[in-house]
Amino acid sequence: MKIAVLLLFALVIGCSSYDSYNQRTSGRVVFRGGVYKNETWDNKLTFKRMSWYHGMTLYYDTIIWKADPTSPFAQWFSPSEKQYFARCESLLVTAGYSADPNKISHVNFREQMKLNGYDDVVVNTFASFLKTHPSAQDWRLQNYKVMGYCKRSPTRMGTSSLAINFPSFKQLEVDL
């Protein structure tokens, strides 16, 4: 009996190490098809996904799309939002969710984006289209804050990846 209790105790201690408690993951989210005025298309809008967990609790989640002016989804930008394509080296659209702003907030994410050379910009029209897409309900985007990020200065290191480093988590890098 004592051996069984000791083995169970060792298993629990082994599973609860610090490295596995604060976790980060990446993946992708796909929205299929779109509509603008009388036009419809079957193209995919593919977002990169980055998530930070403390144990089983989600702290922060974001999806990121490197906006492409040739994509049919670019029609969702207003004329003033489309001007970012000419002024930015790269335009990213993100939708972020903060489960507990005292742990990781949208401000923390915006600071990390600034460290990557991106300034935040407003993309309200695009956000409206994204949040009313039929797939938005599956991802509960009504709880997400949609933002745009513009990289105005030329890339210093020539990297096409994005590195986010929140306190007590290993850095998470995703290729754009």
Number of domains into which the chain is organized:
1
Residue 156 in this model has a pLDDT that exceeds 60? no
What is the pTM assigned to this prediction? 0.84
DSSP 169: S
Is residue 77 included in any domain, yes or no? yes
Is residue 27 included in any domain, yes or no? yes
Residue 132 in this model has a pLDDT that exceeds 90? yes
pLDDT tens string 19-56: 568 999 999 999 999 999 999 999 999 999 999 999 99
Is residue 165 included in any domain, yes or no? yes
Is residue 2 included in any domain, yes or no? no
pLDDT tens string 74-117: 999 999 999 999 999 999 999 999 999 999 999 999 999 999 99
Domain that holds residue 88: 23-175
Residue 143 in this model has a pLDDT that exceeds 80? yes
Rounded to the nearest integer, the mean pLDDT of the chain is 89
Is residue 8 included in any domain, yes or no? no
DSSP string, 107-165: HHHHHHHHHTT-EEE--HHHHHHHHTSGGGTTTTGGGSEEEEEEE-SPPSS---EEEE-
